[in-house]
Amino acid sequence: MVDKLWFLIPEMWLFVGVVVISVMGLCKARGLRNAVPLVVIGFLAVAFIITPLLYTDDRLAKVADGLLIPMLGRYVKMVVCAVGIVLTMLSIGLIDRPLEQAVASGRARFDPIRVSRGEYFVFFLLSLIGVMLVCNANDLIWLFLALELTSLPTYVMVAISRPSRKAQEAAVKYFFLGAMSASIFLYGLALLYGSTGTIVLTEMRDAFAEQAATGGLNRLALVGMVLALLGVSYKIVAVPMHFYAADVYEGAASAVTAFLAFVPKTAGMLAIILLLMTVGWSGHLGPGVEGLPQPILITLWMMAVLTMTLGNVGAMLQRSAKRLLAYSSIAHSGYMLIGVIAGPTLGINAVLLYLLAYGVMNTAAFAVLGALERKGEEIESLDDLAGLRHRHPALAIVMAITALSLVGFPPLLGFLGKLYLFMAGVEAGHVALVVIALINSAISAWYYLLLLGLPMLAMPTPTSETIVSRPVIWPRVAALATAIGVVGLPLVAGRLLSASEAVIQTDEVSPMVDQFDVSMADQPTEDQRAP
C-alpha cells in the first residue's frame, strides 16, 4: 500500500491546491482573487512535471501485481493536466464578472458569501483529481468513488457557470440523470461482486479467468458487467444515457461545456477499460478466437453503432453551435468504443491517443465560442458565426482548423486519432463496425463543414456584426494554443504513439502499426517499442 502512495502524489498536490484556492477565493484583496486561475495553472503545471518522475521502473515493479494497468496513470495524468491548463485559461473571467466589476467601481462592497470564483476552481480541480484517481483504482469501491468525484463537482459547475434559468435547469437535469446512472452502475458492481466474491479488480480478473476456463462466465457476471457498462455510458455520453447532453451543453457556459465534454468522458472510458480488463479479450469465443464474451460484445457493438449514428444524425438537425457540438461529442464516444471492442493492445492504445486528440480539438471549438459574446452573453447560434473572419480572423481560422480536424482531415490531429482507431478495429476483425464508422464520419462532414464555411465563407449578418470579443484575452489564448496543438501534435506522432503504446505492453507489435510507423519520420523502431 505504501508503494502505491508514490503514484498518488499528483492528486495530493492538487488537493493542496484545492485548499489554497478555497482560501484565496474568499480573500478581501482583489489581486489575490484575480490570481486564483493562475495559481490553478501553476498547480496543474507542477503535477504535469512530477508525474513522469514518479513512474519509475522500480516503483512500477513493486505495484505490478496490485494494479491492472500500472502505467495508465503516467499517460492519463499528464494528458489531464495539460488539457486542464487550457480549460483553466478558457474559464478565466467567467465567474463573478459582474460582481467584481461592481466591487472595482465602488458600486458594491466585497461580500465573501456572494463570491464563487474560488468555489468554481475548487470543484474544477476536484473533478480532475477524480479522473486521476480512476487510474489507480484496483477495487470497485475506489472506482465508484473516483467516478463520482469526477461527476459531482460538475453538477455545481454547470449551475454557477451562468446567471440564467437555463443553467439551473441544465444542472437539475444533469444531476438527476447522473443519480440514475450511478444507481445502475452500482447495481452492476454489486452483481460483479456476487459473481466473484471479491471487489478487488486483480482478484476479479483471476476469478473470471477460472470461469472462462471451466465453461464461461456465469450469468450473474454477464448481467453485472452489462449493467455496469450501461451505467458508466452516462459519463461518456453514449447511448442509451446520452439524452441529457444537448440540453446540459447548451445551458452551461462554454468553458464548462468544454470541461464536461472531456473530463467525465475520460473518466468513463478509463472505467470501461478497467472493467473489461477483468474479463479479458481472450478465452471466451473458442480456441484461437480473440474477443469479449458474446453478451458483452453485442452490448458494446450496439452502443457503438447507435452512439455514432444518433450523434451524427442529431448534429445535422441543430442550429445551435453548442447543441451541435454536444451531438458531436456523442458521436466521438461511438468512435472510441471501436478501440474498446478491439481490446489490447492496439485498440486500448488507440482509445488513449484519441482521448488526447479529442480533448485538444473539442477544447479549441468551445474556446472560440467562449471567446465571443454579445451584450455580455455567450453566443450560441450557428448564425452568430457568419462572416467571423471579417471581425475576428484569428478565431475564424481556429474554428476552421478545428472543424477539419474533427471530421478527420489529414494531416491534422483528428485524422491521426481516427486512423489509429480504425486500424485497431480492422486488425481485431470488426471490419463491419469500421465501415459503419467511416460512413458516419462522412456524414459528420456535412455539419463540420458548417463550422468551417460559416466563419470563413459566409457574409456577415446584422446579428453577427454585433459579436465582440470577451474583455479577457485568455480564452483567445486557449483557442490559439489548442489550434497549434491540432496542427503541431501530428508532427510528433511517433512520440504520441509510443506514449500510448507504453501504457499496455506486449511481446508483439502489430504489423499494421509497423506500416503506419514507417510513414512517420519521428516514429521509433520496432526494437525501441518492444518491451
Please report, rounded to a whole number, the percentage of residues in the chain having pLDDT higher than 90. 63
How do strand 377-378 and strand 468-469 relate by DSSP bridges? unpaired
Q: Give the pLDDT confidence of 368-391 residue by residue, as tens digits.
A: 999 998 877 888 888 889 889 988
Between 515 and 383, where is the model more confident?
383
CA dihedral 204→274→345→7, nearest 10 degrees, is -110
Would you tell me how many other CB atoms lie within 10 Å of the CB of residue 470? 18
Of the CA atoms within 13 Å of residue 258, those in its CB half-sphere come to: 29
Would you place residue 523 in the very low, low, confident or very high pLDDT band (cuts 50, 70, 90)? Answer: very low
The owner of cell 486564483 is 36
CA dihedral 506, 512, 513, 516 (to 10 degrees): 170
Residue 292 has pLDDT above 80, yes or no: yes
Query: Is the Cα torsion angle 74, 77, 83, 88 positive or negative in sign?
Result: negative
Mean pLDDT check: name the lowest of 269-273, 325-329, 502-506. Answer: 502-506
Residue 194 identity: G
Residue 1 binned pLDDT confidence (cut-offs 50, 70, 90): low
Mean pLDDT of 4-14: 91
Angstrom distance (rounded) from CA 500 to CA 46: 22
pLDDT confidence tier of residue 514, bands split at 50, 70 and 90: very low
Q: What is the mean pLDDT of residues 50-76?
A: 87
- Strands 372-374, 468-469: pairing is antiparallel
| pLDDT band (50, 70, 90) for residue 212 | confident
* Local confidence band at 102 (pLDDT 50, 70, 90 cut-offs): confident
Q: Please say if the pLDDT value at position 284 is more than 80.
A: no
For residue range 158-195, list pLDDT tens digits in order: 998 888 888 888 899 899 999 999 999 999 999 999 99
Can you read off the three cell numbers belonging to residue 495?
A: 512520440
Could you give the CA distance from residue 435 to residue 426 in angstroms, rounded to a whole number?
Answer: 9
Average pLDDT score over residue span 479-503: 90
Which tens digits make up the pLDDT trace of 460-487?
Answer: 888 888 888 888 899 999 999 999 999 9
The answer to whether residue 216 scores a pLDDT higher than 60 is yes
Among 287-291, 305-309, 449-453, where is mean pLDDT lowest? 287-291
CA end-to-end distance (rounded Å), the chain: 26
The partner residues of 320 in beta bridges, in order of sequence, read: 381
HEC letters along 298-342: HHHHHHHHHHHHHHHHHHHCCCEHHHHHHHHHHHHHHHHHHHHHH
Q: Which of 224, 198, 194, 439 is nearest to 335 (CA)?
A: 439
pLDDT at 530: 41
Cell numbers linked to 368? 472560440
Closest alpha carbon to 505 in 100, 97, 36, 75: 75
Helical packing angle, 346-370 and 321-342, nearest 10°: 170
What local confidence, expressed as pLDDT, does residue 528 receive?
Answer: 44
Supply the pLDDT for residue 185: 95
User: Whose grid coordinates read 452490448?
Assistant: 299
- pLDDT (average), residues 230-243: 92
Query: pTM to 2 decimals?
Result: 0.91
Bridge partners, 147 (sequence order)? none
Domain boundaries along the sequence of the chain: 2-529
What mean pLDDT is reported for the chain? 88
